Structure 1
Amino acid sequence: MKKIVTTSGIEIKKVYTEVKAVTDLPGEYPFTRGVQPDMYRGKLWTMRQYAGFSTAEESNKRYHYLLQKGTMGLSVAFDLPTQIGYDSDHELAEGEVGKVGVAIDSLRDMETLFDGIELQKITTSMTINATASTLLAMYAALAKKQGADLKQISGTIQNDILKEYAARGTYIYPPKPSMRIITDIFEYCSVELPKWNTISISGYHMREAGSTAVQELAFTLANGKAYLEAALHKGLDINVFSKRLSFFFNGHNNFFEEVAKFRAARRMWAKITKNLGATDPRAQQLRFHTQTGGSTLTAQQPMNNIMRVTIQAMAAVMGGTQSLHTNGYDEALSLPTEEAARIALRTQQLIAQESGIVDTVDPLAGSYFVEALTDEVERMAWDYIERIDAMGGAVAAIEAGYIQQQIADAAYQYQKDIESGERILVGVNKFQEAEPPFDKVFRIDDSIRAIQMEKLTVLKNDRNQSAVDISLNELEARAKDGRNLMPSIMESVENYATLGEIATTLRGVFGEY
């Protein structure tokens, strides 16, 4: 009989007949079964919809639409120039403004983005990394202008630069100054924004780049360990800053392997934090957001993607996620239309309200298969982490190209399996059919750049240029002498310095990678 093997290389047995007793309880170390004793019986996960496109005005309309339909938290996508520290009028921004997210050049754009939305009443997740410090400063500055108590503001910045070097590419500075910026954010927020999640350590993009489930888990936790060690080196208290770390995982199609991955992740992180000195249970907990797998969606027969997203979302919920984004069925073709975004949100609401999955904590606990698979995923992930530790940790492994090569090899093998028919992708290499072109696509017009450039001209005429220059000079001085950068970034933002001006100042000290 042919072997059945997951993409991680785990052989699936014909039947599972024994398992060790499940004795640990949800909400207790090592948190295999969940971070809260009552999980969704007490509070549902946060239902987010990732959105952001075109101008701040257009994205603001989509946010109001999503909030009206029942979204519980906003999740902001930024365009590529914003992600890599260029204003919309920079020559390298041409053709990219507003395309894969919203263009944010200054605090004025942030004010427009959240017009009519009280920041103290919602949580916001921002998918931003190299320029995370600046976008967080803009968000905090806007909250102050709204009269909010910054100590009550909650949300997340992704702020995970290591996975950018490994899998995604939107880095600006070399690894060491990038790590310094991240620990500056940890330190600043521990005092000024204590409820803010200062990093979302992301496996999602490594999975999108082609990693297996086990690699996604191992490389994410290895990166997380590197952030812990960097913060400890700075003298920060792990029992304080570790409570504000969160994680971001991918939800893929192999339902049981995904559930096992999430359960193993909590157990492994509890051990890592404990070994590094965390004694507070909340500092040992792995809290995570899940997004369904964008790379699993097909342009062929796109309505099939609704079923894929449902399977992936159910795995995330059964695995104990704290927050979930479900992809639109049309995302292999374009940014999601309003119809696709609504169906994606309704998918979560149906799981929550009609499936019965939320009625008990860790519903698959004690399954011979799931318990054995959780153990095997954990064992294989530790093997990777031990190899990375032997190289000197995640930063050294990335600089050596090890993590990138492992992901590339896995992606190549998966593609070979699809092309040979070893793995079936419905509608792509089996059950194909002729279909008319899919015409319900969402397009962004290039004229947006002209709109943003005009806004920048008006902004620079309106602002106090002397105040901008003073705050940017202070930022440069802090970058050189090692003081925390965040107070100067906050001051620069409040004086309406642009994102590009702040990034350029730091480029002048740190260089580019």
Structure 2
Amino acid sequence: MYDDDDLADIRESREAWESATLDPVLDSYGERKDRFATVSNLEVDRVYDPTDVADLDYDEDLGFPGEEPYTRGPYPTMYRGRTWTMRQFAGMGTAEETNERFHYLLDEGQTGLSTAFDMPTLMGIDSDDPMSEGEVGKEGVAVDTLRDMEVLFDGIDLAEISTSFTINPSAPVIYAMYVALADQQGVPREEVRGTLQNDMFKEFIAQKEWVIPPEPSLDLVTDTIEYSTEETPKFHPVSISGYHIREAGSTAVQELAFTLADGFGYVEDGIDRGLDVDDFAPRLSFFFNSHNSIFEEVAKFRAARRIYARVMDEWYDAEKPESKRLKFHTQTAGQSLTAQQPLNNVVRVTVQALAGVMGGTQSLHTNSFDEALALPSEKAVRVALRTQQIIAEESGAADIVDPMGGSYAIEALTDQVEQQAMAYIEEIKEMGDGSVRDGILEGIDQGFFLREIQEASYEYQERVEAGEEVVVGVNQYSIEEDTSPEILKVDEATEQTQLDRLERTKEDRDDDAVDAALEDLEDAIENDENVMPAIVAAVKEYATMGEIMAVFEDAYGAYSEQIGLA
């Protein structure tokens, strides 16, 4: 973007500035720290200038919004056309309580629903399983059968709303229930909209929720991709999730690299299944964390789009623009929230949300200030939603497409993040002898991802304890007074309410039809068929989550991590 003579003049001017202007100030006053770095420990320079982006090719590396490589945004008008989808996580106790929260959020102006499930549902076991005792409805809503889904979306037209489901090992069952509910409501399947997290690579890498081993788990993910391509073309069958990788302690670069690698692994598996990349890739979505270092986060989001566009083109021969246009949801950083002085979290969330917006997210969830203490209260959820609305309507951040584009600092950081992330992706590909998918499976087996994340997490905690990383209200600016807000408490009667509904559902259903549907599922697994049609048929007979997932566990066995064991 600058010729050699211009760059030489700028270097000369910088040297003069350092000598005449900077050095006297440093000699007299110094700086706050010897080293300045992001939350991920990526060192940042004092000032950036054109020499830091001397190799940048505008057309190849930036371009314009809505055009490859999409660095400046996936769409030409971005938020000038429509704002991002505003989602707030909702899931508590019973389906009735969550349905009430859904209606409240929609009345307050939310434009998409996001559903949290309790631990038994996440792990694919029923509320009446002995392992579920004490956990029913505690971390999210309990869903055992299609009957729960009917209550959960009572009074909500699935043709009018997009719903995100944060669930993984048992995701195909929840998806099947949503499809079955749409059929009940008379909503054409091609109009069903939403996103299923369904990212099992991420589970084995970071979040550690699984039922069956990695390879059959991958097969199940690809089954949902294949099925949704044909049946629900507006539904995103997998949300490739860096969020949980970051929450486990990774750096921003690791989050980006491992997440994109997971996405490329799913692409390879779909292609090997015989799917046309341009048929399914447009509906792959991504899910990123947004942390406190605002410039690092903006650079990460911009680098993500550029890497994805280039790799989808050069490695997987994608032709449609939609196949190379990375779209993502963002959630503010849960692990950054503190139980001490929780109102400070409102500011943290605002900064993180602003980074997501300036980085070009398509959908955004803002955490509630009390989430370090309990499930969010209604008051805290409203503040979190208003945070997004203020950014959208009052800040001006939504008025300029890629407002940070062209900043020497942002462009240099974008390049730096891209280079470091690609080095990781190439390493993973090499572990798989040229296959990213096989490299991920090998990395899971050998503990590669676990070691990388643990090391990054340990180093961050060391910096916090040494005071090199300031956490306001924790290791600096602490106070003695109790600042705990009123928190939401799940009624202890919730579990019994759920157990009673499950018992009634089992009494009312046709057990012979359930048994036949489960046998059909067993046959589909044995014959290596796509299992989604059989799961949809089973949930329509009110087979339970646990009964369906038990079929998979019987077929493939349970999985337990062996890393570090003798």
TM-score bracket for the superposition, by shorter chain length: over 0.9
Deviation by residue 1:349-386 (Cα, 9 ceiling, x = unmatched): 00000111111110011000000000000011111111
2:361 to 308, 321, 344: 321
State yes or no: 1:391 paired with 2:431.
Answer: yes
1:441 to 487, 505, 520: 487
Asked if structure 2 preserves the Cα contact closer than 8 Å seen for 1:8 and 1:215, the reply is no
Asked if structure 2 preserves the Cα contact closer than 8 Å seen for 1:22 and 1:365, the reply is no
2:202 to 134, 143, 163: 163
Structure 2 SS opposite 1:121 = coil
Two-structure CA RMSD over aligned residues (Å) = 1.0
Deviation by residue 1:26-72 (Cα, 9 ceiling, x = unmatched): 11111000000111111110000011010000100000000000000
Q: Using the TM superposition, give the Cα deviation of residue 8 of structure 1 relative to its aligned residue in structure 2, in angstroms.
A: 3.4
Q: Distance in 2 between matches of 1:326 and 1:31?
A: 25
Q: Distance in 2 between matches of 1:161 and 1:444?
A: 29
2:46 to 3, 14, 24: 14
2:217 aligns to what? 178
Structure 1 SS opposite 2:225 = helix
Deviation by residue 1:386-444 (Cα, 9 ceiling, x = unmatched): 11111112121111110111111111111111111011000000011112251411111
Counterpart residue identity of residue 33, structure 1? R
Asked if structure 2 preserves the Cα contact closer than 8 Å seen for 1:166 and 1:404, the reply is yes
Counterpart residue identity of residue 175, structure 1? P
Once the two structures are superposed, the pairs formed by residues 73-222 of structure 1 within 5 Å of their partners are 73-222=112-261
TM-score normalized with structure 1 length: 0.99
Structure 2 SS opposite 1:155 = strand
1:422 to 461, 468, 482: 468
Q: Using the TM superposition, give the Cα deviation of residue 447 of structure 1 relative to its aligned residue in structure 2, in angstroms.
A: 2.9
State yes or no: 1:340 paired with 2:380.
Answer: yes
Asked if structure 2 preserves the Cα contact closer than 8 Å seen for 1:107 and 1:142, the reply is yes
1:367 to 407, 412, 432: 407
Q: Using the TM superposition, give the Cα deviation of residue 449 of structure 1 relative to its aligned residue in structure 2, in angstroms.
A: 1.9
Q: Distance in 2 between matches of 1:72 and 1:437?
A: 32
Structure 2 SS opposite 1:120 = coil
State yes or no: 1:291 paired with 2:331.
Answer: yes
1:401 aligns to what? 447
1:309 aligns to what? 349
Q: Distance in 2 between matches of 1:231 and 1:145?
A: 30
Counterpart residue identity of residue 462, structure 1? D
Counterpart residue identity of residue 371, structure 2? E
Counterpart residue identity of residue 38, structure 2? T
1:356 aligns to what? 396
Structure 1 SS opposite 2:114 = strand
Q: Distance in 2 between matches of 1:243 and 1:282?
A: 5
Q: Distance in 1 between matches of 2:505 and 2:108?
A: 34
Deviation by residue 1:185-238 (Cα, 9 ceiling, x = unmatched): 111111110110010000000101100100000010111111111111101110
Q: Using the TM superposition, give the Cα deviation of residue 446 of structure 1 relative to its aligned residue in structure 2, in angstroms.
A: 3.5
Q: Distance in 2 between matches of 1:21 and 1:284?
A: 20
Q: Distance in 1 between matches of 2:326 and 2:497?
A: 42
Q: Using the TM superposition, give the Cα deviation of residue 460 of structure 1 relative to its aligned residue in structure 2, in angstroms.
A: 1.0
Q: Using the TM superposition, give the Cα deviation of residue 164 of structure 1 relative to its aligned residue in structure 2, in angstroms.
A: 0.6
Q: Distance in 1 between matches of 2:133 and 2:312?
A: 44
Deviation by residue 1:300-340 (Cα, 9 ceiling, x = unmatched): 11000000000000000000000000000011111110000
2:19 aligns to what? none
Counterpart residue identity of residue 403, structure 1? F
Could you list the runs of 5+ residues in structure 2 that have no partner in the other structure?
1-30, 433-438, 560-566
Q: Distance in 1 between matches of 2:258 and 2:465?
A: 27
Structure 2 SS opposite 1:484 = coil
Structure 1 SS opposite 2:326 = coil
Structure 2 SS opposite 1:345 = helix
Counterpart residue identity of residue 13, structure 1? D
Q: Distance in 2 between matches of 1:102 and 1:170?
A: 17
Asked if structure 1 preserves the Cα contact closer than 8 Å seen for 2:39 and 2:293, the reply is no
2:83 aligns to what? 44
2:505 to 426, 437, 459: 459
Q: Using the TM superposition, give the Cα deviation of residue 3 of structure 1 relative to its aligned residue in structure 2, in angstroms.
A: 2.1
Q: Distance in 2 between matches of 1:21 and 1:300?
A: 46
1:67 aligns to what? 106
Q: Using the TM superposition, give the Cα deviation of residue 14 of structure 1 relative to its aligned residue in structure 2, in angstroms.
A: 1.0
1:223 aligns to what? 262
Could you list the runs of 5+ residues in structure 1 that have no partner in the other structure?
none
Deviation by residue 1:112-161 (Cα, 9 ceiling, x = unmatched): 00000001100000001111110001011111111111101110000000
Q: Distance in 2 between matches of 1:35 and 1:436?
A: 45
2:553 aligns to what? 507
Q: Distance in 2 between matches of 1:448 and 1:113?
A: 15
Structure 2 SS opposite 1:184 = helix
TM-score normalized with structure 2 length: 0.90
1:238 aligns to what? 277
Asked if structure 2 preserves the Cα contact closer than 8 Å seen for 1:21 and 1:366, the reply is no
Q: Distance in 1 between matches of 2:557 and 2:544?
A: 19
Q: Using the TM superposition, give the Cα deviation of residue 7 of structure 1 relative to its aligned residue in structure 2, in angstroms.
A: 3.9
Q: Distance in 2 between matches of 1:207 and 1:10?
A: 15
Counterpart residue identity of residue 469, structure 1? D
Q: Distance in 1 between matches of 2:140 and 2:261?
A: 29
